[in-house]
Chain A
Amino acid sequence: MTNNQYMEEILQLIETISESAQVKIEDLKKYLGDTEIDDILKQLIEAETILIDSTNNISLTIKGKKEANEIIRRHRLAERLLFDVLDIKNEEKAEKQACDFEHILDKEVTDNICTLLGHPKFCPDGKPIPPGECCSQGRKHISRIVSPLSALSVGEKGKIAYMLSGEHQRLDRLFSMGLLPGTTVRIHQKTPSLVICFEETTLAMDDEIAHDIFVRKI
């Protein structure tokens, strides 16, 4: 574990404990059993994320609390992703993976996972997942990040992420018309038939074809 990861772990621990009790340096030592803890705490103080008062009580600064929440958010979202979406049955393995994820996910990836999962409020064992920016925006538009073209509403735009097709012929045809991953398309109308516009092309298609084209809404 790198120094940075240690700092994140400890911030997370302080926040978790402080949900129910006062946090003392001794508590941290009990959990971590580490003699280097003083060093790390010093670094955390320098980073203005924690405060230690005269009675050795540790508390988080506003900045620290924000950081800790983000770490917890990443961890718990990772748990949801692993359990619910990727269907990892082995809990120990999933837990370990979640611990790794919490350090490597950046903000954008985290928000995308959160949106993909539909902004979950609780992690699998029932603990709350701190909401991110995407959640407050997400309440207004709850569509997934990548959705079938057919799920977009009239006037919305999406950038093609990938296309599924059992039939190569269909894929080839779309491809040679200029409809391929990376193309931005706009939904012109959905009834009586789906009509999309991209570049200088207007194309009408069956809904079934549009079900297999996945776009990132923009």
Chain B
Amino acid sequence: MTSNAILKSKKETPCIILVGNANVGKSVIFGSLTGTYADVSNYPGTTIDITEGEVRFTNFGKTGFDKARLIDSPGINSLIPKSEDERVTRDLLMEENPSGIIQVADAKNLKRSLLITSQLAEMGLPILLVLNMFDEAMERGVLIDIEKLSSILGIKAIPSVATEKVGITELKKTLTEFSVPAISISYDKEIERGIEEIITHLPIDTSISKRSIAIMLIAGDTMLLSKLTKLMPSLNQEVIKKIIEKTAHKFRAPLNFVINRERYRIVNEIYDRCVTTQKTSAEHFRDKIGNVMIHPLLGLPIVVFVLFIMYELVGALGAGVVVNFLEKTVFGKYIIPWFQNILQTIGTPEIIMQMLTGPYGLFSMGLTYAVAIVFPIVGFFFIFFGILEDSGYLPRLTILSNKLFKKIGLQGRAVLPMVLGLGCDTMATLTTRILETKRERIIATLLLALGVPCSAQLGVIMGILGGISIKALLIVVVTVILQLIIVGYLAAKVIPGKSSDFLSEIPPIRIPKIYNILIKTYNRVIWFMKEAVPLFMLGTFCLFLLDKSGFLVHIENAAKPILTGILNLPPETAEAFIVGFLRRDFGAAGLFRLANKGYLDITQITVAVTVMVLFIPCIAHLFVMIKEHGMKVAMAIAVFVTVYATLTGAVLNIILRGLNVF
């Protein structure tokens, strides 16, 4: 998109934007309108992903087109942006010159959606209103008179239950029938005067109404002012700032508040005219389950149970059975030998053979790792995660975890990347984006790098220690959790910046729909593979170069004195640790072999496993940290983690031997 698309322009293919509050089902509607194909891209200059697809009209209508681009925008609470998400959505509306907006509303919380409708009306954008989750509204006795709402607003309003495909056919039929909602709000006369004055200073026509731009400016959107100045060099910033200041002086409350209050008044009037609420009878059974999940005491066994199921599904089934089959059988017996054969028959030079299928080969190691190991783990994980998400359990988990996370400089929302880390740390680091402040993103990344074992590792570690000694397993678990708390607590004290507010809306408990979970999982796996496979390949290639140049031996030799001197481990473990940097499960498996051969006693195994869990998970993870936080932060984290892990191992060794634990 070009930067002056903000100015009125006629694009070739019409564009429709899905707009709505967070968690109202925009993505599900997007999916049912476009089919599964979607193009996810990063919005320029932000960490926010935008999904774009194509929608075909069953009814050409007056547009004369048979298809349109459909953009799924980030969830918003208001179009006077207060967060990056909201800014992106507002910018999309200004820049894409949409021919229509599909506003998705949570029918049971219609008031909030009408607030956005009123802002879209102000912008002069034609819309179509989808009242999603209509079943939940009915269940709770929120009765919406759709005809009345339609006629008051002068727009099409369609009830739907997107997860069950209810209302989608009708939506498809009416997809070209957009109209500008008939809501007009006049504010206090001082504000109106300010709006008028600003409008006279806005030089060129924009794709959204000048009035709405003036209102956003008055409500204190300073980012917009600098954006406008870039597009319209003739715009006099100072004059506009003066007008805003002058208007602000007339009110005791912030202008934004005064504007919102008036907006709410109008919205309430509309709401009261079309919505009646009936007292519903007793609590629904699902509500009771939801309450138990967030109960201070009863909630805890549920967490343990959920984590156990996750371990069984992702760790045992995904990382165990499926990975074994794909890695050993599919790749080990068929794909790799077959590929080697082809390479040999066409007479590939030895060095290329090594690069592709050697011990550190792009195919034999990189691709095998990405496809045979990470793919099934992440796939199973996303299925499980999707169930947690769609059932409404995840936001409830944030309630239980908020206080603990606050102590380590994070907040309840951080439970998402942390749980994801148990699946794959590389993926989890990518999702630290959902945290609001930079400080929180860095702390979460640090803790993921330090002490959250991925499921590939969990499986092998449980295998080694579970078989040898439950006591050793407990020592490792307690040590690692303790380090997470200590480091988190200290990081919260040291890293500047502040934590964000914990403010989390708790949706009702819902029964997840398998189809929607599969679609979601499919999209996520594709997203992840796109992001991570190149990193795994790059990592393997680095390792290949290190190996061929003989540098790997030097690193191993350099590591030996540290291992023997500080950690009291045999020098043979060096290889396991180095390989573990590419694949932590390989590293763990290396230890397993050494232990079996009798090179390690139980204290050494405990120390070695602890250190391995605390180390940077893998080389792909290191690359992801560089990608997300830049070289400086990533290196600082890597160095800290390496030193800290070694020291923890050393202290643990002294304690275990000093106290004669084994």
Contact = CB atoms under 8 A, between A and B. Distances in A.
A200 interface: yes
A176 B260 contact: yes
A148 B299 CA distance: 27
B78 A200 contact: no
B264 interface: yes
Nearest to B80: A172
Given A168-B254, A172-B256, A204-B504, A191 B77 contact: no
Interface in A183-214: 188-189, 191-193, 195, 199-206, 208-209
Interface string A164-176: 0000111111111
A47 interface: no
Contacts of B412: 193, 204
B109 A178 contact: yes
Given A191-B296, A192-B399, A176 B77 contact: yes
B402 A177 contact: no
Contact of A173 (B111, B115, B399, B503): B503
B395 A204 contact: yes
Contacts, number: 102
A133 B406 CA distance: 44
A177 B82 contact: no
A180 interface: yes
A174 B115 CA distance: 13
Contacts of B398: 193, 204
A206 B112 contact: no
B142 interface: yes
Contact of B505 (A168, A192, A201): A201
B550 to A, nearest CB: 55
B82 A200 contact: no
Contacts of B242: none
A131 B508 CA distance: 47
Contact of B402 (A170, A176, A200, A206): A206
Contacts of A188: 291
A188 B290 CA distance: 12
Nearest to A208: B501
B560 interface: no
Given A168-B256, A192-B296, A178 B505 contact: no
B653 to A, nearest CB: 36
Contacts of A173: 77, 82, 501, 503
Given A173-B77, A175-B260, A178-B112, A204 B502 contact: yes
B166 interface: no
A172 B402 contact: no
Contacts of A204: 294, 395, 398-399, 402, 412, 502-506
A177 B220 contact: no
Residue of B254, B257, B411 most packed against chain A (CB within 10 A): B257
A178 B505 CA distance: 12
Contacts of B411: 206
B439 interface: no
A173 B260 CA distance: 11
A200 B504 contact: no
B119 to A, nearest CB: 10
B506 A203 contact: yes
Nearest to A209: B501
A127 to B, nearest CB: 38
Contacts of B10: none
A180 B256 contact: no
Contacts of A199: 109, 111
A206 B504 CA distance: 9
B142 A200 contact: yes
Contact of B503 (A168, A178, A202, A205): A205
B82 A202 contact: no
Given A170-B501, A177-B505, A193 B403 contact: yes
Given A168-B256, A176-B115, A200-B109, A195 B82 contact: no
Nearest to B260: A175
Interface string B386-406: 000000000100111011001
B109 A176 contact: no
Nearest to A203: B505
A202 B220 CA distance: 29
Interface in B242-284: 254, 256-257, 260-261, 264
Contact of B109 (A191, A201, A209): A201
A174 B256 CA distance: 13
Interface of A, helix, strand, loop or mixed by DSSP:
mixed
Interface in B109-147: 109, 111-112, 115, 137, 140, 142
A37 B78 CA distance: 66
Residue of A170, A176, A178 most packed against chain B (CB within 10 A): A176
B399 A193 contact: yes
Nearest to A189: B294
B441 interface: no
A199 B291 CA distance: 17
B108 interface: yes
A176 B296 contact: no
A168 B296 contact: no
Interface string A103-118: 0000000000000000
Contacts of A172: 77-78, 80, 82, 256, 260
A201 B402 CA distance: 19
Contacts of A177: 77, 112, 503, 505
A178 B256 CA distance: 15
B39 to A, nearest CB: 30
B372 to A, nearest CB: 40
Residue of A169, A191, A202 most packed against chain B (CB within 10 A): A202
A200 B141 CA distance: 10
A200 B503 contact: no
A173 B21 CA distance: 12
Contacts of B111: 178, 199
A200 B506 contact: no
Contacts of B80: 172
Contacts of A206: 402, 406, 411, 501-503
Contact of B296 (A175, A189, A200): A189
B264 to A, nearest CB: 6
A206 B403 CA distance: 9
Interface string A82-102: 000000000000000000000
Residue of B82, B140, B256 most packed against chain A (CB within 10 A): B82
Nearest to B396: A204
Nearest to B133: A200
B82 A169 contact: yes
Contacts of B504: 203-205
Contacts of A180: 260-261, 264
A209 B503 contact: yes
Contacts of A168: 220, 254, 256-257
Interface string B216-229: 00001000000000
B256 A193 contact: no
A193 B504 CA distance: 11
A193 B396 CA distance: 10
B217 to A, nearest CB: 15
A172 B221 CA distance: 13
15 contacts: A168-B254, A176-B260, A177-B77, A180-B260, A195-B294, A195-B399, A199-B111, A200-B137, A201-B109, A201-B505, A204-B294, A204-B506, A206-B406, A206-B501, A208-B501
Given A188-B291, A192-B400, A209-B501, 4 more contacts: A169-B83, A172-B80, A176-B115, A189-B294
Please name the 4 residue pairs, one residue from A and one from B, whose CB atoms are nearest each other, closest first.
Answer: A176-B77, A200-B108, A202-B506, A176-B78
